[in-house]
Structure 1
Amino acid sequence: MFAGYKAQIRQLLIIFMCGCFAACVPELLAEDASKTPAPPAEMATDPTGLRVLPGFEVELLYSVPLATQGSWVSMTADPQGRLIVCDQRGHLYRVTPSPLGTSSIESVETIDVDLGEAQGLLYAFDSLYVMVNKTKDFESGLYQVRDTDGDDKFDSVELLHALKGSSEHGPHAIVLAPDGKSLYVIAGNLTDPPTDIKTYNVPKTWREDLLLPRNPCPSGHNTGRLAPGGWICRVSPNGKQWDLVSTGFRNPYDMAFNREGDLFTFDADMEYDFGKPWYRPTRICHVTSGAEFGWRFGSGKWPAYNADSLPAMLDIGLGCPTGVAFGYGADFPAKYQEALFVCDWTHGRLFAVHLEPKGATYSAEYEEFISGTPLPLTDLFVNPVDKAMYFTIGGRQTQSGLYRVTWKGETSTAEIATTVNATELHLLRKQLEAYHGPARADALDFLWKYLGHEDRFIRYAARIALEHQDVDLWQARVFEVSNSEEHNPETTITGLLALSRIEGTPVDKIVSKAIQLWDSNLSDRQRTDLLRALAVTFSRQGNPDLAAGKLLAEKIADSYPAKTQTLNYELCQMLVYLDSPAVVPVTIALMQQAKTQEDLLNYAMSLRVAKSGWTDKLRTQYLTFLNEAEGKAATGDYVGAGHVQAVVQQMRADATARMTADEKERFADLLNSSITSVAPTGSPTPRKFVKSWTVDDLLPQLEKVGHGRSFENGKSLFRKAECIACHRFDNRGGIFGPDLTAVAKRYSRPVLLREIVTPSVQISDQFQNHLIVTSNGLVHSGRILERGETQWTIAVDPRQPSAVIQLAAEDIEEAVPSTVSMMPTHLLDTLSQEEILDLLAYLESAGDPKHGAFEQLSN
């Protein structure tokens, strides 16, 4: 009785709190859902305004009615060449495109099954496979949809395997394996791998493997989310068997196989990390068996040189990866039939990536194939029936469209030979990967000779194969002293790395072997790999004994500083960990020589937890570095602006926590930074109410955004309307909202206007507040930064990153996603119509005062 009463009270509290926010707090006002205006009717982006490589033609076949058919984010084709697409938050549709030469479709029909919200679609094995990423109605997981009576209508839906994960980092694409006998599925880092995996190509030994303490992202994104991160699985057609192929991604949306059977994906960056040493750009990865790509939350992301991970094949830069496909089967020139095409949602770019075999992997170059404003690309594929490329735009309730790409140039489009031309090293890697499963009696003698191979991908494949074997059969072999080729230093280093990842490894034997190896004629890269083996050992197995640790510190300190930057980074971390007094003065000198902000911040990050070797002079220099870095971030002289400023503040807080009371007093002036925030806080200057603007009021005026506007006025209004408090724009601004620099690349003017006027209609899970109910009856509103086992951390003011509260985990009864956006409504109500148009023009300009919107029209 009382439990039911308590639940009712809790729900009333939540409703009351929402009502209070809507009625009493201007920053959180929400529109009544019944009064929310319908999305503006609009055509998808006109293809004549797109930038397209010469010889190619883009046709707009269909502008998707947002109000009735939503925003399309995934696509496949059936054997008849008809397209099957899905609304991110709604239904499945079947589209019959018109024949080539006619820029239209013949029909679009709703698929009459109780399923939707798919971010992955594949027609195979006489079935439609659907990967649901739950938004409201359907459970996340892999589904099979069939036509059981042959009437050309789907009538059967079966959930093959539920998945724990949703949101924009949930389950994504499905593709057919090269042999046509299985499926591959991919998921972002907020999706748990299935618990019933049969075969682990990636050994099930993943950990965070961080030597020094990390800091979370100041905005709280993904805080507390541990390894393995995003993953790829191989799945049987009936969904019964799942094999884990690769881990360590952030949020890849799609993937594709080449003719050689090699798999590629396009992984996401963490845009808040831009300007920090651990930033990893959007990256194209060659996904091999057992591959680990090193995503960890916050500052814990592994550098690409870590020997227990694989590097990206190609870094692209800032963006938001979506669709991926090879051009095989397209009536394109040979170069583009062979190209890997990848979509960037944020910046409206479709890239053509050209691969060349290199060792056991590939090198690659890319070019912009198609781009436009707005062009929020979601998916693409080559239709095997008409041999044209199709792509969709949409996502997050933006205007969606279906496009077709064909070749109109003179170069031949004859289909190229489909023969497989794998290199010897590719074949060798595949041989080693055959041992990425249950232990085999014939494994050790074969793989051992490749642990020291000069090709990183071969060494990696051999080590993963080794970790799958019984450690009792090979541990002693790692420590053997031999001058034979199979016991060269490279082999031993790789063997030590394998041992470091296995529970119960003798720490002091590894340290002793490492000291012995350090005196060998090792390259800087080999020493970096050896330090990684030690770092993984200590992070998993614990500290070395005092004498061994001291001896190791003295040995490696003689090599600090080294000639290469990567070795210096690792030496710095290891010497800080081993509490060497030699690390601080050398590192301060390296900071003085730093040529980039990332270089300086990398060293500063390690020194923040250093305990020994400080003098007053060194401490003063270190804190001065931090204050100067914060100042440069605050003024926009450092890329990353507010996010970098917040990270520097974290470093200072960590350093302060390790100082004595006397030190805190002596350095008080340096510790109490008075840097002005890059995102000014506090109450803005009051402005007079002008009008309660609606979308319908302003839609007819949007054409005027494109000309005759004022850049300076728009820039001023961006600050006066407090947009800058939460959003970064042109390298300035706050850290709690999305970066708006490229907003015009993904949102058309009507959609951008809708997002500003009615921000609660569409709330990305990345920027969603929660209402947290505690056992004492209180309801807190804020963004969950960390869900720890004993304590939760909640940010309660998006304009003040340091404004956080801690709640005991045992006291939390419920956390309910808020339906009210953090972004205030009525932001425009103190602006005139002309000011609103200037603000929109400024947002479209990406901060460029020479943008066409600011050209003044002549009388």
Structure 2
Amino acid sequence: MKNTVSGKTAGSSAKILGWGVWLMTIIIISGGCSRDGGRYEQLSDREKHSAKNALAGLETRKGLETSLFASEDMLVNPTNMDIDAEGRVWVTEGYNYRPKLNPDNPRRAEGDRIMILEDTNGDGKADTSTVFYQGNDIDAALGIMVLDERVIVSRSPYVYVFYDTDGDDKADRKEVMFSGIQGEQHDHAVHAFVFGPDGRLYFNFGNEGKTLKDADGNAVTDPYGNEIKAGGNPYRQGMVFRSDLDGRNVEVLAHNFRNNYEVAVDSYGTLWQSDNDDDGNKGVRINYVMEHGNYGYTDEVTGAGWRTRRTGMAGDIPSRHWYQHDPGSIPNLLQTGAGSPTGMAIYEGDLLPDVFDNAMIHADAGPNVIRSYPVKKEGAGYSAHIENILRGNRDQWFRPSDVTVAPDGSIFVADWYDPGVGGHQMGDQQRGRIFRIAPEGAAYRLPDFDLSSPASAVEALKNPNLNMRARAWLKLREWGAEAEGALVSLWRSENSRYRARSLWLLNKLEDKGIQYIEQALGDDNPDIRITGLRAARQLDIDIIPYVSALVQDAAPEVRREAAIALYQNQAPEAPALWAKLAMQHDGRDRWYLEALGIGAKGQWDRFFEHWTDEMGTAWNTPAGRDIIWRSRAAAALPMLTAVIQDPSIATEDKSRYFRAFHFHDSPRKEQELIGILKADLPDQQRLNIMALRQLDASAAQRSATVREQLREALTAAGKSQEYLDLVEKFQLEDQGEALLAMMTSHPDSSLGIRASRLALNQGGEPLVRAALASSNGQDQQNILDVLGNTSTPQSITMLEVFALDAQNTLTKRRQAVKALGVSWGGEQRLVELVKSGVLPESLSAAAAEALSDSWRGDVRQLAKKLSGESPPPAVELPPASELVQKAGIPGSGRKIFQQSCQICHRVNGTGTNFGPALSQIGAKLPKKGLYDAILNPSSGISFGYEGHTLTLNDETEITGIIQSETASEIVLLLPGGYTSTYAKSSVKGREQVERSLMPDNLVAGMSEQELVDLVAYLSSLK
């Protein structure tokens, strides 16, 4: 790479568009087709996807303009990018994206590329491209960071460091920084690295990353001796990391994310990122990353999935999705609905309008948008809102994969450009774009920068571009004391972010760093006080004096940092400091409460004791109850009991305190819960049900009180989910009669179906068989119906045996056949019976009726054959590129959806919760993407919806989606939207299904117009 001293490099010094070029650009961008939707719609499909019309499909925020910096054939499929101090754009490509899942796509045998794109003539467009590196080892890399002569590339299972030692823009050698990261060629694996203001690296991986190993394959441990791996003890799911520049001294800064795609760090050292929800749940979130926080994708204690029933479960899906009602889950900053979020940057420049000052700039490929999330302080945390910048409102192939700040303060956007959003599927390998966004008329002017002296390096440190700042930081750090004067001048600036940047360097000066930290801790600006404390924590010094200086700080956000600074601190003064901080909690600030929880982690007993000593009997206030709810101290348990037994607190509000018991492992927990069972309070039975749900199942063996109250609770719960919770939890095998009654009275609801599953799993199968044989009339019909809805191997076998038993009446046998065809597994068995000739002719009409509304086209054709109809001739469908040109009728498509798709998908609350919800699918996928998903479902499986086959110890095989997994059990979501729980001890093996659980032959028997109508309906869902 070029080693710039004076700031002048060939073709890049103080670049500015010429006046004539600039004027023409404004005419094209502002007055042309980028704002003329009518003209765009008149273009052919091929023209719409042409680079010359790339701007026409986009809508830019008023006051800003978008220009096309680079496009095909200069690059294709950009997955991530960085911009160096010379304004050159470094891009990783993803041409060879997931070939196993896209086997029909061509491959580039020599591998994917890292490209350097440069504008050498000052017209605002890249005119040269250089291949820095090419190889299969970086196929579809998801991250790139340019440092000095180093380029860090993230491509699971490795993180590579490439070196350009001679400055020729070619990689001379490659080293492995990290290995062992799971999720090879998986979007939920390792993502891009970022240079922090403290001179360290920040990065993350999603929930498929799972482990982090060094270059030699050895497990990496954090500073507290924990091996960095998912699965609990202590970390779960996706994680955020910090390390030295060479990859040593790795810290886990937060965990329990789903797919935290790219972390962004501001000048104060505050971390921000997005996280993607399980598709279709409108739960994409933006997070302020509180150090050492748990972000609640799965149950903190067990690892159970968010759909798992629990006490105190949130009513809305986004809050439930992230366990927001649990003590110990950090609050979400912002919910942005449905999406596929990707790259993020912090904008600390001054070129864009004021609303974007110091705000996150974020790419979300799902809704085709570049957004900003301006934040404001709110207690110890923040609030935020959405400001759109660039939208693909006409061109849904616009798939922004990254956003980066250039040295002039403009922002650049990488556009993967595809009918889909990645994940598994890739529909276009010919295109890819890089856009620049700036105020109208702002040419791409690159500032001169000079690293020849401390004063000029300090000027470079002010730049909004991270590469320029990193190079300046490293040079200033190298100078050490020689740079102090220049840094002090920046420290005295009125710009608090500049001051913070200088402080991160001043604090590292030998023998002088402490004096600057102490100045920062006494500063009028709370952000500087926070930065000072964070900087102190990175030094090998006693942090207690600095926490003491801030423990009574007027700003709650500063006290938040003081609480976090006590994490794992064993000093004798720490408990008293924590107690002082806890006494300032106002009972309304969840951010502050969670910071207290982080500070006390691992030391709850001694910290909590100091707080209770200080509070005495005055603890029972909203703030005090918050502390008790969040606490993991054994001494908090009797106080939880006291709150639950307080008659002034409404019963529905007490569920939150019962949930708190879940996070305690003290033997005292059982004692307190049994004490609640013995109380005599208003609504005692309701309280007992909640108490029993928090007890370990083995408590019933140890306590007569538990057994007695369990029996009473079962009666009080009636025919409810709470009743079934108790039966399942305590593995009650004597509830067969009651379960059977629920089956017959609720054959078509989740209540009856769950009762059926429990009955069959907990020894009630003989009772159900006997009832089926002896019942008459409606009861027998209801049992057949509920067995059809149950969809387990046992229920399917029972229906088959009943249907084939000539001793039963023909009418009932036909009803059993129809019930057999209700579930996916039952339907498949019925097809096998028909094709093998086992099903007698007398049941053919019933089978035809059962199979006629199958979502699988080939099964519907079989139904027509059984009923004597001639199946329609096979339809030769044209390619998707032709189908997208055809007009469909959404109303007709809705009927097709109800027949063919609703068995697995939900739209606006209607349908089955098996596959992803599709309520906003039209906003995510254009018609081409929808056709691809329907015609080639296995190439576009949504993450989290992959099928797995469990083989039980008795050789039974069950296929479904793993909804939740803990150390002891697996919860499988089965076709039809019902779950079944299997103890791991009963599971002999598991295997991921390579193909989608959505059948490839969905459209068999469907006419071309019916398919077009279906896509028209799906396109309307926005």
TM-score, normalized by the shorter chain, greater than 0.5: yes
Match in the other structure for 2:212: 194
* Letter matched to residue 657 of structure 2: E
Shift of 1:433: 3.6
Q: 1:559 to 1:498 in 2, by over 3 A?
A: farther
2:526 to 425, 428, 450: 425
Match in the other structure for 1:265: 273
Shift of 1:270: 4.0
Match in the other structure for 2:284: 282
1:183 to 190, 193, 201: 201
Shift of 1:124: 0.9
Match in the other structure for 1:321: 341
Q: What is the CA deviation profile of residues 164-205 of structure 1, one whole-angstrom value per residue up to 9, with x for unaligned ones?
A: 2223321112111124x332111123323536799958x668
Q: 1:382 to 1:436 in 2, by over 3 A?
A: closer
Paired residues of 1:438 and 1:468 also in contact (CA < 8 A)? no
Q: Distance between the aligned counterparts of 1:357 and 1:605, measured in 2?
A: 38
Match in the other structure for 2:975: 798
Paired residues of 1:561 and 1:568 also in contact (CA < 8 A)? no
Paired residues of 1:436 and 1:468 also in contact (CA < 8 A)? no
Q: Distance between the aligned counterparts of 2:949 and 2:984, measured in 1?
A: 13
**Secondary structure of the corresponding residue to residue 404 of structure 1:** strand
Shift of 1:527: 1.0
Q: 1:785 to 1:663 in 2, by over 3 A?
A: closer
Match in the other structure for 2:999: 824
Matched, 1:141 2:316: no
Match in the other structure for 1:77: 83
State how 1:536-615 maps to structure 2 within 5 Å: 536-537=632-633, 552=639, 555-559=642-646, 562=649, 569-570=656-657, 573-574=660-661, 578-579=673-674, 580-581=676-677, 586=683
Shift of 1:791: 6.5
Paired residues of 2:278 and 2:944 also in contact (CA < 8 A)? no
Matched, 1:529 2:627: yes
Query: Which has the larger displacement, 453-462 or 322-331?
Result: 453-462
TM-score, length-scaled by structure 2:
0.60
Q: Distance between the aligned counterparts of 1:793 and 1:487, measured in 2?
A: 39
Q: Distance between the aligned counterparts of 1:565 and 1:462, measured in 2?
A: 34
Match in the other structure for 1:844: 1019
Q: What is the CA deviation profile of residues 646-689 of structure 1, one whole-angstrom value per residue up to 9, with x for unaligned ones?
A: xx9xx834555548667664575446633357997454422565
Shift of 1:351: 1.6
Q: Distance between the aligned counterparts of 1:718 and 1:604, measured in 2?
A: 43
**Secondary structure of the corresponding residue to residue 142 of structure 2:** strand
The higher relative CO (CA closer than 8 Å, separation ≥ 6) is in 1
Q: Distance between the aligned counterparts of 2:345 and 2:145, measured in 1?
A: 13
Match in the other structure for 1:130: 153
Q: Which runs of 5 or more structure 1 residues have no equivalent in the other structure? A: 1-38, 134-139, 209-221, 275-280, 539-543, 592-600, 627-647, 848-859
Paired residues of 1:684 and 1:720 also in contact (CA < 8 A)? no
Shift of 1:520: 0.5
Q: What is the CA deviation profile of residues 183-240 of structure 1, one whole-angstrom value per residue up to 9, with x for unaligned ones?
A: 2111123323536799958x668999xxxxxxxxxxxxx9989734322222233334
Q: 1:207 to 1:817 in 2, by over 3 A?
A: closer
* Letter matched to residue 146 of structure 1: Y
Matched, 1:252 2:252: no
Q: What is the CA deviation profile of residues 526-584 of structure 1, one whole-angstrom value per residue up to 9, with x for unaligned ones?
A: 31222221xx235xxxxx8xxx96x5465223435537987762256549972423699
Shift of 1:387: 3.3
Q: Which runs of 5 or more structure 2 residues have no equivalent in the other structure? A: 1-45, 98-110, 309-320, 446-462, 465-492, 501-523, 587-591, 662-668, 701-705, 754-788, 790-821, 828-850, 854-859, 865-870
Match in the other structure for 2:894: 715
State how 1:648-687 maps to structure 2 within 5 Å: 652-658=724-730, 665=737, 669-670=741-742, 673-676=746-749, 681=823, 683-685=851-853, 686-687=860-861
Paired residues of 1:608 and 1:655 also in contact (CA < 8 A)? no
Match in the other structure for 1:335: 355
Q: Distance between the aligned counterparts of 1:662 and 1:775, measured in 2?
A: 24
Q: 1:319 to 1:41 in 2, by over 3 A?
A: closer
* Letter matched to residue 402 of structure 1: R
Q: Distance between the aligned counterparts of 1:185 and 1:320, measured in 2?
A: 19
Match in the other structure for 1:94: 115
The structure where strand makes up a greater share of residues is 1
Match in the other structure for 2:944: 766
Match in the other structure for 2:570: 470
Q: Distance between the aligned counterparts of 2:680 and 2:129, measured in 1?
A: 67
Q: Distance between the aligned counterparts of 2:190 and 2:439, measured in 1?
A: 37
Match in the other structure for 1:382: 405
Paired residues of 2:286 and 2:332 also in contact (CA < 8 A)? yes
State how 1:106-121 maps to structure 2 within 5 Å: 106=127, 111-114=132-135, 115-116=137-138, 117-121=140-144
Shift of 1:831: 1.4
Paired residues of 2:71 and 2:433 also in contact (CA < 8 A)? yes
Match in the other structure for 1:402: 433
**Secondary structure of the corresponding residue to residue 822 of structure 1:** coil
Q: Distance between the aligned counterparts of 2:650 and 2:209, measured in 1?
A: 41
Q: Distance between the aligned counterparts of 2:205 and 2:926, measured in 1?
A: 29
Q: Distance between the aligned counterparts of 2:441 and 2:653, measured in 1?
A: 48
Q: What is the CA deviation profile of residues 275-330 of structure 1, one whole-angstrom value per residue up to 9, with x for unaligned ones?
A: xxxxxx43322234444434434248775576755433333334332111133447
* Letter matched to residue 157 of structure 1: K
* Letter matched to residue 401 of structure 1: G
The structure where helix makes up a greater share of residues is 2
Match in the other structure for 1:237: 245
Q: 1:348 to 1:625 in 2, by over 3 A?
A: farther
Paired residues of 1:793 and 1:807 also in contact (CA < 8 A)? no
Q: What is the CA deviation profile of residues 762-790 of structure 1, one whole-angstrom value per residue up to 9, with x for unaligned ones?
A: 44553333567899999876545566667
* Letter matched to residue 727 of structure 1: H
Match in the other structure for 1:728: 906
**RMSD of aligned Cα (Å):** 5.2
Q: 1:109 to 1:63 in 2, by over 3 A?
A: same
Shift of 1:256: 2.0
**Secondary structure of the corresponding residue to residue 839 of structure 1:** helix
Matched, 1:174 2:196: no
Paired residues of 1:165 and 1:191 also in contact (CA < 8 A)? yes
Shift of 1:724: 1.9
Considering only CA atoms, is the larger Rg found in Structure 1 or Structure 2? Answer: 2
Paired residues of 2:904 and 2:913 also in contact (CA < 8 A)? yes
Q: How many corresponding residue pairs?
A: 722
Matched, 1:165 2:182: yes
Match in the other structure for 1:28: none
* Letter matched to residue 247 of structure 1: H
Match in the other structure for 1:854: none
Q: What is the CA deviation profile of residues 691-747 of structure 1, one whole-angstrom value per residue up to 9, with x for unaligned ones?
A: 656674443231223xxx3233111111222x2222233333333322333333333
Q: Distance between the aligned counterparts of 1:748 and 1:450, measured in 2?
A: 53
Q: What is the CA deviation profile of residues 783-834 of structure 1, one whole-angstrom value per residue up to 9, with x for unaligned ones?
A: 4556666766666x5345336766658944xx65443222211211211111
Paired residues of 1:186 and 1:252 also in contact (CA < 8 A)? yes
Q: 1:741 to 1:372 in 2, by over 3 A?
A: farther
Q: 1:439 to 1:370 in 2, by over 3 A?
A: same
Q: 1:784 to 1:304 in 2, by over 3 A?
A: closer
Match in the other structure for 1:156: 173
